[in-house]
Structure 1
Amino acid sequence: MARILFALPPLIGHLNPMLAVAAQLSAAGHELAWAIHTHQLGASLPDAARVFSLDAGDQVTTVVLPKVRGLESVRLFFEDYALPMAEQSLPLIEQAALSFKPDVMVVDHQMIAGSLVARKLGIAWLASITTSASILRMSPMLDDWVAGQYAGLQQRYMPSEAESARVARPDFSPWLNLVFSIEELLGTEHARVEAPYAFLGPAIGQGRREIDFPWQWLRDDCRHILVTLGTISRDRDTRFFEVIMAAIADMPNVQAVLVGPESLSVKAPANVLVRDFVPQVELLKKMHGVICHAGHNTVCETLMHNLPMIVAPIRDDQPVIARQAIDAGAALFMRHGKVSVATAKTTIHALLNTPELNHQAARLGAVLRKSSGAVGAAEHIVRIANAARA
């Protein structure tokens, strides 16, 4: 049996696929441990999980949403979040690895500290990549800037390592990179970072905590829409939610489940249910369409259920994922910051009444459902662990 250490950032959307993978590995008898920020993610792990906390006193790492968008938001994401988190986490993950002595590490693509620790200690590791956008090259200027930031981080953490041993993108594993997406969504506009990839499709289902939901609220004589902006962007502001609620208020044969702050409940019309959290996978089985931020997990889960969507990207990789879904014919675009009630009504009507959207969503859904997901990821992890021990 293999000893496997997971190293993840404090983002629930990055934890969920690993919970599904971990469920497969646990069922096969492998020994698992988690290096995570327990303040944010600890409650989502199985009760008996072995955990090495990455919390550093009161300096709990959180995502600060920048006011800028596009490539500038990517730069700020590195400067204000990913790189500081790496500096803080390096000694803690190293201590976890020395204590647990894993055969293999599974490191989230954004948890660069895990990959550097694995390299320093000579541990085989795989990268977990939750979005197809992460493997695409950006602009040459931004790619060079990211490489420079990583070079500095490698020099500070491993000053005795020869400069020739440093790599431009240490966040990509030389062993294998687990991409929880399908190549059909990638498109051809951007080149990929050169690395060994396994395209697995989404890893969903097992391992997620149960969430209560009033299923009786959904009426059989209505069409149902899920409205979600993910776990990070949902509290950015409430205007978008308010516009969507106003648009749906005039649609008596439509019901919407809106995942957002409970404070919105007082403004919600009778055909909109506001919930802080929802059992998204189960809920999608009852939906006819989705309005979302183009987060990769949500896009894949939506398509797996043959559902068309409206994408309103906000930041980071979301514009790229949104464009992939639109180019694939399964999504319509909506401007997050400036959408009007009239435009929202028109777009929602098109979402629910354009057969071609459903056709293309079903086409992609068929590919996604055939993908190996968590089972395939677990098989790759065990294979790498066995190879490392041989």
Structure 2
Amino acid sequence: MNHLQAEIADPALRPGGLGGAVAPPVTRTGEQRQTYRGVVDEDQADAVTLRRVPENAGDEVVGLPWSLVVRWPAEGRRVDRPRRFQRRRRGFAEEQIRSHITSASPQSGRDTTRFMRILFVAAPLQGHLLPLVPLAAACRDAGHEVILAGGGFPPDVMGLRTADIGAGFSLPRSAVRVALRHPGLARDEMRGIAGQAMVGELFGRANLALIGPLEALAEKEDPDLIVFEPLAEAGAVVAGRLSIPSALQENTLWPATDLFEAVTRSSVMAKFAIPNPELTIAVTPPSLRDGPLAGAIAMRPVPFSGGGSIPEWLLTAGDKPRVLVSRSTLKGPNDGDPMPAVVAAAASVDAEFVLVRPAKADRLPANVRAVDRIPLDRALAHAAAFIHHSGAGSVLGGLAAGVPQLTTPGAGDRRFNSQKLADRGAGFAVEAKEITAADLTRLLTDETLRAAAREVAKEIAGMPSPSTVVAELEKLVSG
């Protein structure tokens, strides 16, 4: 089985092993990488994940982090083996190869036991996908192949490959069907007091449209691992069907495990065999939930808002305190947009207000400016305060920046989020239509809010980074 010829890239090693010649490694670049499967010309042949340069590069050599390179034949043949061998025995051939290069130290300073292909799965809503991007990018940067499966992707996903599985996904349609069956629950949901009961039914039904497309994608891509967010249980369903491990990454202030249980026990999802994830990753700072989430590992919530350009003037502090004002990426009733009330009150406050993606930006007071989509984390670094709709990503982004927040409670998890922020002392909540100049002044002058926000920012900075969590994901596949 001589479809592939393996070679040693480290010049210090004596030629003659695994194919003979010593070859220089070729730098691998971003989206030009592809993963193929093949067999090595050793006594124990099996499926092994390898890297290849772009098609137009011809018969090239690609360096792997532990100094092994592989030469592909000119035709670049892909050798497929039965799925059960690819999935359950893939690591065997790699370990056979590694046994020949024990004297070669890892180029990156860490021992990469294998390359993985990882599917990151989110409901096709930007607020659900964006928190997954930093960990997905960290996995990519560690040498693994990553695919973001979701929909409605923002302009920037850090150069990651995406796959749209959301063609049949409609949250409004699911909401109507659930509301017809549970009208009382739907009314409570609009007021933000339904807890997780409504969200479980809502996303349980919505996930039905994701299972088929995700399974088709997985059959094509043959992942080693699926990482999913708490409202994308289609990831857990497909991982179970393919007998591969899964990891649950929290992206809300609600405990990830509670949401997982709410969705999997919903009336439409209860009929599915849904295995528990092998790993749960919690991103909420422990001080917001009275301690660490039981059974989970912690990871720092890294703010990421999906790109956009940022004006130079937002990258430095202004002459007056600057307040960023944002709104939800999800349109709907009771969406908690604070901008109209802020605009109405702003002229009475000695500060600069910046509206991010406003629904309209005409007839603004002299101290109010409007910008399109921007990287909020970069702008928050020079802001004095943050006003928004109480979305989990916005709350965590403001806390990471250490700025006090004024939030508007509302449907879904927004009332819960605003209460958690207020309980921690780092912000306060006001109904969207009731924001006054006095509220804006308090936001800028209450030093107890600022002190608490800075405490949480320090707490977040001390949490493990996404790059350190990659090793925990690798353990799920390496066993």
Letter of the 2:303 counterpart:
I
* 2:135 paired with 1:21: yes
In 2, Cα distance between the equivalents of 1:385 and 1:176?
11
User: In 2 relative to 1, CA 354–231 (structure 1 residues): closer, same or farther, beyond 3 Å?
Assistant: same
Letter of the 1:378 counterpart:
V
SS at 2:366 equivalent: coil
User: In 2 relative to 1, CA 272–54 (structure 1 residues): closer, same or farther, beyond 3 Å?
Assistant: same
Question: Structure 1 unaligned runs (5+)?
Answer: 159-165
Q: CA deviation at 1:183?
A: 1.1
Match of 1:61 among 167, 170, 174: 170
User: In 2 relative to 1, CA 8–298 (structure 1 residues): closer, same or farther, beyond 3 Å?
Assistant: same
Q: CA RMSD in A?
A: 3.0
* 2:395 paired with 1:299: yes
Number of the residue aligned with 1:95: 216
Number of the residue aligned with 2:266: 149
SS at 2:378 equivalent: helix
Number of the residue aligned with 1:202: 301
Match runs of 1:191-270 below 5 Å:
196-204=295-303, 208-213=306-311, 215=313, 220-232=318-330, 240-251=338-349, 253-263=350-360, 265-270=361-366
Greater shift, 61-70 or 319-328, is seen at 61-70
User: In 2 relative to 1, CA 240–302 (structure 1 residues): closer, same or farther, beyond 3 Å?
Assistant: closer
Letter of the 1:41 counterpart:
F
Number of the residue aligned with 1:368: 460
Question: Structure 2 unaligned runs (5+)?
Answer: 1-114, 176-185
Match runs of 1:107-186 below 5 Å:
107-135=228-256, 148-149=265-266, 152-155=268-271, 157=272, 173-186=276-289
User: In 2 relative to 1, CA 331–174 (structure 1 residues): closer, same or farther, beyond 3 Å?
Assistant: same
In 2, Cα distance between the equivalents of 1:289 and 1:322?
15
Residues 198-231 of structure 1 show CA distances to partners (whole Å, capped at 9, x for unaligned) of 12130235x9434233526977321110111232
Runs of 4+ aligned residues of structure 1 deviating over 4 Å after TM superposition are 62-67, 73-76, 145-148, 216-219, 233-239
User: In 2 relative to 1, CA 123–71 (structure 1 residues): closer, same or farther, beyond 3 Å?
Assistant: farther
Residues 294-350 of structure 1 show CA distances to partners (whole Å, capped at 9, x for unaligned) of 2222112212222111121222112122111111111122122x415xxx2111111
SS at 1:231 equivalent: coil
Letter of the 1:82 counterpart:
F
Task: Select the structure that is richer in helix.
Answer: 1
Who wins on radius of gyration, i.e. which is larger? 2
Residues 158-184 of structure 1 show CA distances to partners (whole Å, capped at 9, x for unaligned) of 5xxxxxxx6xxx6xx441111222111
Letter of the 1:322 counterpart:
S
- State percent identity of aligned pairs: 22
Residues 122-154 of structure 1 show CA distances to partners (whole Å, capped at 9, x for unaligned) of 11000111112144759xxxx8x866425x424
Does the aligned pair in 1 maintain the 2:327–2:338 contact within 8 Å?
no
In 2, Cα distance between the equivalents of 1:367 and 1:217?
24
SS at 2:254 equivalent: helix
Number of the residue aligned with 1:162: none
In 2, Cα distance between the equivalents of 1:200 and 1:177?
10
User: In 2 relative to 1, CA 244–234 (structure 1 residues): closer, same or farther, beyond 3 Å?
Assistant: farther
SS at 2:235 equivalent: helix
SS at 2:354 equivalent: strand
Count of equivalent residues? 351
* 2:189 paired with 1:70: no
* 2:444 paired with 1:352: yes
In 2, Cα distance between the equivalents of 1:179 and 1:216?
31
Give the TM-score of the pair, scaled to structure 2: 0.66
Q: CA deviation at 1:75?
A: 4.3
Q: RCO (CA 8 Å, sep 6+): is it higher in 1 or 2?
A: 1
Q: CA deviation at 1:2?
A: 1.2
Q: CA deviation at 1:356?
A: 1.3
Give the TM-score of the pair, scaled to structure 1: 0.80
Letter of the 2:470 counterpart:
A
Number of the residue aligned with 1:313: 409
In 2, Cα distance between the equivalents of 1:370 and 1:277?
29
User: In 2 relative to 1, CA 63–380 (structure 1 residues): closer, same or farther, beyond 3 Å?
Assistant: farther
In 1, Cα distance between the equivalents of 2:148 and 2:337?
37
Number of the residue aligned with 2:379: 283
